[in-house]
Structure 1
Amino acid sequence: MDALIRLYLEHLQSSDKNIRNEGYIGLLAAAEETVNWAYECWDALVSDLTHSDNHRRTIAVQLLSKLAKSDPEMRIMDDFSRLLAVTRDEKFVTARHSLQSLWQIGLAGPEQREMLIEGLAARYEDCIHEKNYPLIRFDIIHSMRRLYDLVPEPFIRQTALDLIEKEADVKYRRKYAGEWKKAVKGPS
């Protein structure tokens, strides 16, 4: 691992939000491609999934999701439930930002894709009694579409369409279906 990546990782531990953000942005950019340093920070990121600082929890989910493609040992398969748990965070912004990043796990391979889609489908079903369930469901459908645009496997599309059909509120069903009628821009 080069010195800059080490510095970015150290910055993630900072209580200064500007320094922490610099580390976060630097690591996200570095992890756009497959990297060889994922395991040097993996355990610390998994630990941060339950950190008292909600920013650290969100950053951990986002970085682990992005690093899944750099995970030949497939650790993400064991840690996925911990990432998914953050989508139920007490701070809705943390939950939502975490949920919006999970789709990247599906880029890692077919087993990870299947696990992700099953996890998102279960989350879609179980969020019905949550205050912001329409936003959660929208994020799930949008995430499936983003993944499908990069990995056009029929089961992703079919799962999303099946979930949309289960939506009782016609207004939301139309909104979710709209995600499958338009092109979704590239990864973020």
Structure 2
Amino acid sequence: MDSITQANFENLESKDKDVQYEAYNKILKATEKEVDWAYEVWDKLKEELTHSDNHKRSRAAQFLSSLAKSDHEKRILKDFPALWKVTKDEKFVTARHSLQSIWKVGLAGQKQKEVVINHLIERFTTCMDEKNYTLVRFDIIQCLRNLYDQEKDESLKQKALDLIEKEEDSKYRKKYATLWKKA
């Protein structure tokens, strides 16, 4: 790992929230493409998925989702249940940030994509008892759109449109459909 990336991970522990936030953004930016240091931080991030600090749980989930494309050993397939659990975190903001980034796992390969899509579809159809379930559903449709935008897989679009049709409330059906207007 280069010294700049290492410093960014160290700065996540800073007492200064601005320094933490800048480091967080730099790490996310770095992980937009494949990196060669994924396994240097993988185990620590996996541990932080269950940390008592919800900020660490959220960051760990977002970073692991982004690092999946650099995971040539396919560890994410084994670690996905722990990552998915954070999308149902007791702190809604943590759950939401984790859910909003989970689609990136689908960029790592066909098997990873299938796992993500299956979990998203299952969650959409079973989340009505969750607090803020309409936001959860919106995020799921957005995840499918993000993946579609990267892969141009028409089956993703169809899956999303099928889920939208399952929404009984026309107001939310219309809101979810706006995500697919120009697809």
> Which band: TM-score by shorter chain?
over 0.9
Cα deviation for residue 16 of structure 1 reads 4.1
Amino acid in structure 2 at the alignment position of 1:89:
D
Q: Which residue of structure 1 lines up, in the alignment, with residue 30 of structure 2?
A: 30
Amino acid in structure 2 at the alignment position of 1:26:
K
Q: Which residue of structure 1 lines up, in the alignment, with residue 182 of structure 2?
A: 182
Structure 1: tracts of 5 or more residues without a match: 184-188
Cα deviation for residue 15 of structure 1 reads 4.7
Root mean square deviation of aligned Cα: 1.4
TM-score (normalizing by structure 1): 0.91
Structure ranking higher in helix proportion: 2
Give deviations 1:78-128, integer Å, cap 9, x for gaps: 111211111111111111111111111111111111111001111112211
Q: Distance in 2 between matches of 1:43 and 1:17?
A: 24
Stretch moving more, 159-168 or 39-48: 159-168
Cα deviation for residue 154 of structure 1 reads 2.5
Identity, % of aligned pairs? Answer: 56
Q: Which residue of structure 1 lines up, in the alignment, with residue 83 of structure 2?
A: 83
Structure 2: tracts of 5 or more residues without a match: none
1:157 maps onto 2:141 in alignment = no
Give deviations 1:45-68, integer Å, cap 9, x for gaps: 111111111111111111111111
Cα deviation for residue 11 of structure 1 reads 2.2
Q: Distance in 2 between matches of 1:13 and 1:119?
A: 32
Q: Distance in 1 between matches of 2:161 and 2:155?
A: 10
Work out the number of aligned pairs and report it: 183
Q: Which residue of structure 1 lines up, in the alignment, with residue 61 of structure 2?
A: 61
Amino acid in structure 2 at the alignment position of 1:60:
A
Q: Which residue of structure 1 lines up, in the alignment, with residue 17 of structure 2?
A: 17
SS at match of 1:127: helix
Amino acid in structure 1 at the alignment position of 2:48:
D
